[in-house]
Structure 1
Amino acid sequence: MTLPLQYLIFDASDDGEGTGTWDAVASVRAADLPAVWAEVHAVLACAQQHSPGPRGPLDDGGTWDADEHQQTDGDWTTVTLTLTGPWAWGEALVARWSGD
């Protein structure tokens, strides 16, 4: 299953110990905000469906976690989504979304 993303583009970083962080940021005008949040919710649903274990802070025993934020500045709203979890899991998810 490929989940086509039009707004969210993920940038990955590896901690060198098998855990990765994938950050996506989308800055849009109000008319596009529902579409961005639809992508965020679809990504989170896919992450949950392919979960490597329980979601929660890694320091508290979670296997993966996600954080979403929204900030408005004038006519633009920025939505940020961060996923954290096992490197192989995250890379497989990103490959689904990018069609790789």
Structure 2
Amino acid sequence: MKLHYLLFDPSDDGEGTGTWDAMASVRASQVPEVMQEVQAVLDWAQRHSPGPRGPLDDGGAWDADQLVQTEGDWTTVTLTITGPWAWGEALVAAFPPSEN
């Protein structure tokens, strides 16, 4: 699946764990499409889970945080995923950005 709204920005902690942040700021009519992308990414993460989901400090292998904020006519959706570097890179590779 190609992503039309979410673009991931990776960061590596240097110890094998990464964080992938994606954000989309859209009009209200586009929010359902963005949320479909978020759900597709989360479904992939769960299907290919490297272990239990939860805070890494509490023994989780990966975790995700989603934030939706509306200001005026715009809604910003932020998705942050944390987990093993190779797993996260595979996740991002499974969802290339759309050319459009």
TM range (shorter): over 0.9
Aligned to 2:43: 45
Aligned to 1:7: 5
1:98 positional shift = 1.0
User: Is 1:88 the counterpart of 2:86 in the alignment?
Assistant: yes
Alignment of structure 1 residues 65-76 onto 2, 5 Å: 65-76=63-74
- Quote the Cα distance in structure 2 between the aligned partners of 1:29 and 1:36: 10
Identical amino acids, percent of aligned pairs: 73
- 1:53-92 Cα shifts (integer Å, max 9, x gaps): 0000000000000000001111000000000000000001
Secondary structure at the counterpart of residue 6 of structure 1: coil
Matched residues, number: 97
- 1:9-45 Cα shifts (integer Å, max 9, x gaps): 0000000000000000000000000000011011000
Per the normalisation by structure 1, the TM-score is: 0.95
- Quote the Cα distance in structure 2 between the aligned partners of 1:56 and 1:87: 16
Greater than 4 Å deviation, 4+ residue runs: none
User: Is 1:59 the counterpart of 2:57 in the alignment?
Assistant: yes
Gaps of 5+ in 2: none
- Quote the Cα distance in structure 1 between the aligned partners of 2:3 and 2:47: 17
Gaps of 5+ in 1: none
- Quote the Cα distance in structure 1 between the aligned partners of 2:86 and 2:36: 25
C-alpha root-mean-square deviation of aligned residues, in Å?
0.9
- Quote the Cα distance in structure 2 between the aligned partners of 1:97 and 1:42: 9
